[in-house]
Structure 1
Amino acid sequence: MSKTLGEVARTARVQARLTQVDVAERIGLATEVYGRLERGLMLPSVPTLWRLCLTLRIPADHLLGFAVESPPQWALTPPAEQDDAEVRRLMRSVRKLKASHVRTLSLMVAVLRREA
Structure 2
Amino acid sequence: MSKRLGEVARAARLQAGLTQVDVAERIGMATEVYGRLERGLMLPSVLSLWRLCVTLRIPADLLLGFSSERPPSWAPTPPVEPEGAQVRRLMRSVRKLKAPQLRTLRLMIASLLREA
TM-score by length of 1: 0.64
Q: Which has the larger radius of gyration?
A: 2
Instruction: Quote the offset at 1:77 in angstroms.
Output: 3.8
Greater helix proportion: 1
Q: Shift of residue 74 of structure 1?
A: 1.2
Q: What's the CA shift for 1:13? A: 0.2
Quote the offset at 1:12 in angstroms: 0.3
Number of residue pairs matched by the alignment: 81
Identical aligned pairs, as a percentage? 82
Deviations 1:28-65, CA, capped at 9 Å, x for gaps: 00000000000000000000000000000000001111
Quote how far apart the aligned CAs of 1:71 are.
3.0
CA RMSD of aligned residues (A): 1.9
1:49 pairs with 2:49: yes
Q: Tell me, which stretches of 5 or more residues in structure 2 are unaligned?
A: 80-116
Cα deviation code 1:3-29 (max 9, x no counterpart): 010000000000000000000000000
Cα separation, 2, equivalents of 1:5 and 1:71:
15
SS at the partner of 1:75? coil
Amino acid at match of 1:58: I
Provide the rounded CA distance (Å) in 2 between the counterparts of 1:23 and 1:77: 34
Question: Which blocks of at least 5 consecutive residues in structure 1 are unaligned?
Answer: 80-116
* CA offsets 1:57-102 (integer angstroms, 9 cap, x no match): 00000111100354321114445xxxxxxxxxxxxxxxxxxxxxxx
Please give the TM-score of this superposition, normalised by the length of structure 2.
Answer: 0.64
- Which residue number corresponds to residue 37 of structure 1? 37
Runs of 4+, deviation exceeding 3 Å: 76-79
SS in 2 for 1:33: helix
Query: Mapping of 1:1-116 within 5 angstroms?
Result: 1-79=1-79
